[in-house]
Amino acid sequence: MCGICGIYNFGTKEPADGAALKRAADAMAHRGPDDEGFYLDGELGLGNRRLSIIDLPGGHQPISNEDGSLWITFNGEIYNYRELRPGLEARGHRFKTSSDTETIVHLYEEYGTACLAHLRGMFAFAIWDKRAKRLFLARDRVGIKPVFYRSEPGRLVFASELRALRALIEPPLEIDPQAVYDFFGFRYIPAPHTFYRGVEKLLPGHYLVADARGVSITPYWDVPPEEAATRPADEYAEEVVAHLRESVRLRLIADVPLGVFLSGGTDSSAVVAFMAELGARPLRTFSVGFAEQRFSELPYARRVAERFSTEHRELLLRPQDMAEDLARLIAFRDEPVAEPTDVALYRIARLAAESVKVVLAGEGGDELFVGYPKYAADRLAGFVSALPQEVTSALARWLPYRQRRVKLALETLAIRDEAERSATWFASFSREEREALFSPDFLRQVDVAHPARVFEQQLEKVRDRSPLKRMLYADLKIWLPDNLLLRGDQMTMAASIEERVPFLDHKLVELAARIPSPLLTRGFRTKALLRRALAPYLSPETLRRRKVGFTVPIGLWFRQSLKSFVADVVLSPEAKGRGYFNPAAMERFVREHFDGVRDRQKQLWALVNFELWCRQKSGSRR
């Protein structure tokens, strides 16, 4: 696990700025506290910060092939590198290290860009082909590892983090109004966009080539369709277990201690179960909870830890932790923090870092095996949206505050357009709320339909698939990489540890995609097939638990201990005077939440984070 950065002046032929590469590497020293390295070749420069996981003494980067004609800077892990190496050696390739990084160089030497088909893992890397004067930049299939870049006439710069990329770009960077608008819809910025004009994220499953002809981007992988003929459910369940077990086994490869983020839910508990079965010892687990018992999953995590005899550690997240960490994490991300859970993840990563360098997590299980209630609820969209709008509106108003989730679901199901409904399920602000929040002058600068358009683009690619498979596809392409996986990468790397996600091994992703929709759920019960598959390994209590989600009691804190913090930030003269918002709407959202009229925690979280980010930008030279 590392941080990568690079400069390629393919058009201007100006020498790459080594001092700028050093500044970029320093900006992400937390990603690689163990080592740093640089390679300069005229107009090309590569940088690397290394967190040593495999081949601790020999994996210094950038690494070259035998004759120095190819150089790589790499972030991630290739789990099948040991299987790949003998075949490469048989073809005459000579290795000078035992690292997975060097395997990629020789694969590229043998297969060119088709090397990506051979890789099993998580990665973002750049290879400099010295003879062809070509830079090859690639990202893993589902987007576990991020890479940001800026392409200008005759010049390309890239880095693992926005804060590092900004060290490679002459200021000032302009904030993109459309990205601001989209943040208050999605809670994050969907790829390829970022908050800055001209700065983009390389899409998952894509690679970029830069040479004298310019910059081109090519997709190399996609999610397969479901199988037409249905095999017995037990047959699929056996395949899921076999793939997941193998995926966990591969992710135990490391020369450093490992642990697990354990919530007590199905996915993370399954990871613990297979680690125990595979003999991983010591088996260390880490959980985070809250003093507010109805939000805390610690009792469930403890029972799983006891069942598998793990070395278990816990922490309680407090409101003051949130207030203390928020500005720091915004600086790490160089963006507003999308979710309150980011703070909890950062805290538990710091706890884990005291004893391990690698953690496994259950991320991805919901998007593969239908874990979110919205997947089941969306079946009702046709019925609810057919009702007169005044009926659904009246029903939503009638529901009491404690039924806020049902209220939100009802309002979302009433949306007839599939893309608009998909964009609303996890949104901070609905489209109507965004149009009330923003000032008329600001709204004239943006496309108010853009969030729905982002989903429409993905849904259109799989128009011939079932409604459930379309939802899963869109979430795998948008929600998962641009929110959950980016969060996992940045919050764990902020604590200088590596997160591995067994559910997102691409072979398991492809298997889940091929399973026919009717087998994935049972009635309105989520994860039916996965629970069936895991029945021999997990307790009935763990398997029967309804989906809770990692929920921080931010709504409660915003009405109690963090009330003044929210008011001081959101209702400050600076926030009201930035020109983005309608101050009356800001005050209404705050008042409704404080008075318990409506749950506005998602809206207030977005407003707090955006204002703190704006303050950091105004106080920064870049």
Per-residue pLDDT reduced to its tens digit, 168-198: 998 888 999 999 999 999 999 999 999 999 9
- Which of 40, 38, 39, 29 is CA-nearest to residue 2? 29
Q: Does domain 233-370+485-544 have CATH number 3.40.50.620?
A: yes
Domain extents in the chain:
2-219, 233-370+485-544, 553-622
pLDDT at 254: 84
CATH code of the region 2-219: 3.60.20.10
pLDDT in tens, 21-72: 999 999 999 998 888 999 999 999 999 998 777 666 677 899 999 999 999 9
Q: In the structure encoding, which two tokens stand for residue 510, read together?
A: 């492809």
pLDDT in tens, 394-441: 555 555 545 556 656 767 777 878 888 888 888 899 999 999 999 999
Give the lowest-confidence range in 49-53, 148-152, 240-244, 395-399.
395-399
Q: Please answer whether residues 338 and 360 qualify as being in contact, where contact means their C-beta atoms are separated by less than 8 angstroms.
A: no
> In whole numbers, what is the pLDDT of the chain averaged over residues?
92
pLDDT at 502: 98
Percent of the chain with pLDDT over 70: 93
How many angstroms separate the CA atoms of 79 and 69, rounded? 25
- Which of 552, 555, 561, 551 is CA-nearest to residue 590? 555
Q: Which residue has the higher pLDDT, 176 or 393?
A: 176
313 pLDDT band (50/70/90 cuts)? Answer: very high
Following DSSP, what letter does each residue of 352-400 receive, concatenated? HTTT-SEEE--TTHHHHHT-SHHHHHGGGHHHHHHS-HHHHHHHHHHS-
Q: Please answer whether residues 220 and 207 qualify as being in contact, where contact means their C-beta atoms are separated by less than 8 angstroms.
A: yes
Question: Annotated catalytic sites, by residue?
Answer: 2
Residue appearing with tokens 């990084």? 101
Give the lowest-confidence range in 41-50, 204-213, 407-416, 522-531.
407-416
Angle at CA of residue 409, ends 407 and 414, nearest 5°: 100
pLDDT at 401: 45
Q: Please answer whether residues 238 and 533 qualify as being in contact, where contact means their C-beta atoms are separated by less than 8 angstroms.
A: yes
Q: What mean pLDDT do residues 205-229 have?
A: 96
622 pLDDT more than 50: no
Q: Tell me if 2-219 shares its fold with 233-370+485-544.
A: no
How many angstroms separate the CA atoms of 196 and 10, rounded? 23
pLDDT at 295: 82
Q: Which residue has the higher pLDDT, 377 or 139?
A: 139
Q: Please answer whether residues 435 and 403 qualify as being in contact, where contact means their C-beta atoms are separated by less than 8 angstroms.
A: no
Q: Is omega for the bond preceding 204 within 30 degrees of 0, making it cis?
A: no
pLDDT at 406: 64
Question: CA separation (Å) from 352 to 31, 76, 322, 460?
Answer: 15, 19, 18, 42
Q: What mean pLDDT do residues 595-609 have?
A: 94
620 pLDDT band (50/70/90 cuts)? Answer: very low
Q: What mean pLDDT do residues 200-211 have?
A: 98
Q: Please answer whether residues 294 and 310 qualify as being in contact, where contact means their C-beta atoms are separated by less than 8 angstroms.
A: no
